[in-house]
Amino acid sequence: MAKKSAQVQSVRDAFRVLPESFDLAGLDPAAAPVGPKSKAEAAADMVEVGAQLDDLQEALYAEGTGGGRRSVLLVLQGMDTSGKGGTIRHVAGLVNPQGLHIASFKKPTAAERRHDFLWRIRRQVPAPGMIGVFDRSHYEEVLIARVDGLVPAAEWRRRYELINEFESELVGSGVTVVKCFLHISPERQKERLVARLEDPAKRWKYNPHDIEVRAKFSQYRSAYQDALVKCATPVAPWFAIPSDRKWYRNWAVARVLLETLQEVAPVYPEPSYDPLVELARLREADPLR
C-alpha cells in the first residue's frame, strides 16, 4: 500500500478545507478535481478501495481486541438530500458491519437538551477498534441552532471553540477524526426532493418542513462556511466533498476514509500465546483428533 500513498494522499488534499482560503460559495458542487471522470471509472476504483478499506478495518478491529485504543470517526454533514444516508450505504457498506458504529443525530430530545450539547455526542464516540460514522453531529449546534436562532448568538459563537476542544480531546484519546461536508447545489437538491415525492418508495424520506429549511439555503451556507473554517483544525480536518453527483461523492468520501485509515496504519496485535506451541497442542494433544 505504501507505493500508492503519493497518489492517494492527493485525494485528501484535493478536498481539504484550508481555513485561510476556503470559500464555500465559490466551490463547485459538481467539481471533480481529482479521480474518476465517469461513473464506470469510479465503480472500478471502488472495488479496489473497498478491498483496501475492508483489510484496514479488519486490522483496526483486531488491534482493538488486542488492547489497542485507536478508532476512527467519520463525521458526515450536509444539507437535506446531500447524501449522508447514501454515503453510509455505499462507503460504510464496503466494510464489515461488525466493525461499524453508526449514530444518527436527530433533533435533540427533551432529555438530551437538559445536558450539555456534547453529552449525547460523547455517548456515541466509537470504541477502540471501531469505525464510527456520525450522520449529522455536534455541528448541528452551530448550524440549525444558529440559523433558527435556537440559542443566543453568544452561545453558538462559543461552541466553535468547545467543539475544537472536544475533538482535540478525542484525538488525544486515540480517535482519528475525519469530517466530510457533502456539498450540494440548490438546483440538485430540488431535483432530489422532487424525485423523493414522485417515487412512492422514497416519500418516507421527505418532510414538508424540508422546504422551509431549503428557503434558508444561503443562511446555512454562511453557517457552514464558518463551521468549516473555524473547526478545520490540523488534528480534525474538514473535507468539502462535491456531492452533486452521487458516484463522485461516494468515491471521494471512500478515498478520504481510505487515506485516513492508511495513515492510522492499524496493526494486528501480537498474539499473547506462542502459535507454534498452540499448533502442537492442537495437532498432537487434541482431545478430538
Tell me which stretch binds a second copy (CB under 8 A): 19-27, 173-181, 195-203, 225-233.
Answer: 195-203
Nearer to a second copy, 81 or 176 (CB): 81
Q: What kind and span of H or E run contains 273? A: none
Between residue 103 and residue 142, which ones bind a second copy under the rule CB under 8 A? 104, 135
The count of other CB atoms within 10 Å of the CB of residue 49 is: 21
User: Which residues inside 12-71 make contact with a second copy, applying CB under 8 A?
Assistant: 58-59, 62, 65-66
Interface with a second copy includes 219 (CB under 8 A)? Answer: no
Determine, following the binding rule CB under 8 A, whether residue 208 of this chain makes contact with a second copy: yes
- Name the residue nearer to a second copy (CB basis): 8 or 76: 76
What's the CA gap between 53 and 55, in Å, rounded? Answer: 5
Q: Where are the alpha helices (DSSP H) in the chain?
A: 5-15, 39-65, 84-90, 110-113, 119-122, 144-147, 153-172, 186-198, 209-214, 217-231, 246-264, 275-284
Rule CB under 8 A: which of 157-186 touch a second copy? 186
Q: Which is nearer to a second copy, 138 or 192 (CB)?
A: 192
User: What secondary structure letter does DSSP report for 16?
Assistant: B
Three cell numbers written together for 8: 492517494
Number of residues that bind a second copy (CB under 8 A): 49
| Closest by CA position to 254, among listed 180, 171, 174, 170 | 180
- Between 125 and 232, whose beta carbon lies closer to a second copy? 125
Helix axes 39-65, 246-264, angle to 10 degrees: 30
Q: Which residue(s) pair with 179 in the sheet?
A: 75, 238
Q: Is 190 in the site for a second copy (CB under 8 A)?
A: yes
Alpha carbon of 34 to those of 14, 220, 242: distances in Å?
Answer: 7, 27, 11
284 binds a second copy (CB under 8 A): no
Q: Which of 49, 72, 92, 261 binds a second copy (CB under 8 A)?
A: 92
Query: What is the DSSP secondary structure assignment for residue 28, as one 8-state letter?
Result: -
Q: Report the residue number, 208 or 234, with the smaller CB distance to a second copy.
A: 208
- d(CA 56, CA 261) in angstroms, rounded, equals 7
Is residue 147 part of the contact set for a second copy (CB under 8 A)? no
Q: Is 194 one of the binding residues for a second copy (CB under 8 A)?
A: yes
- Interface with a second copy (CB under 8 A): 58-59, 62, 65-66, 85, 88-89, 92-93, 96-98, 100, 102, 104, 135, 186, 190, 193-194, 197-198, 200-201, 203-208, 211, 214-215, 217, 268-269, 271, 273, 275, 278-279, 281-283, 286-289
